[in-house]
């Protein structure tokens, strides 16, 4: 699925996405969904996981660096508060 189709189908905007370079994925800052970055710098919007609801392996958490870790923790808190 393309970026534009993902955004349109789910009623999101580009501003709702942030790239987490340390773990090679994009994070939806509105709902906590993450999607892996492909070798051609696109994202696999068919293979998502959610930082609030899904269990990421220990390596993923250990690989998050500085600002990426802060962003993920802030989004987890934000999504949980909205429920």
- Are the C-beta atoms of 35 and 47 separated by less than 8 Å? yes
Confidence (pLDDT) at 2: 87
Quote the CA–CA distance of 67 and 22 in Å, as a whole number.
9
Q: What is the model's pTM?
A: 0.91
- Are the C-beta atoms of 75 and 32 separated by less than 8 Å? yes
Answer yes or no: is pLDDT of 83 > 80: no
Confidence (pLDDT) at 1: 84
Confidence (pLDDT) at 29: 96
Q: What is the DSSP letter of 42?
A: -
Quote the CA–CA distance of 81 and 6 in Å, as a whole number.
24
Tens digits of residue pLDDT in 14-73 = 999 999 999 999 999 999 999 999 999 899 999 999 999 999 999 999 999 989 999 999
Quote the CA–CA distance of 55 and 66 in Å, as a whole number.
21
């Amino acid at each position: 699925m393309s970026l534009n189709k993902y955004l349109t189908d789910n009623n999101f905007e580009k501003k709702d996405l942030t790239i987490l370079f340390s773990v090679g994925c994009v994070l939806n800052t509105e709902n906590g969904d993450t999607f892996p970055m492909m070798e051609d710098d696109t994202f696999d919007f068919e293979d998502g996981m959610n930082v609030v609801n899904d269990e990421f392996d220990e390596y993923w958490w250990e690989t998050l660096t500085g600002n990426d870790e802060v962003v993920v923790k802030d989004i987890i808190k934000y999504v949980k508060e909205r429920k």
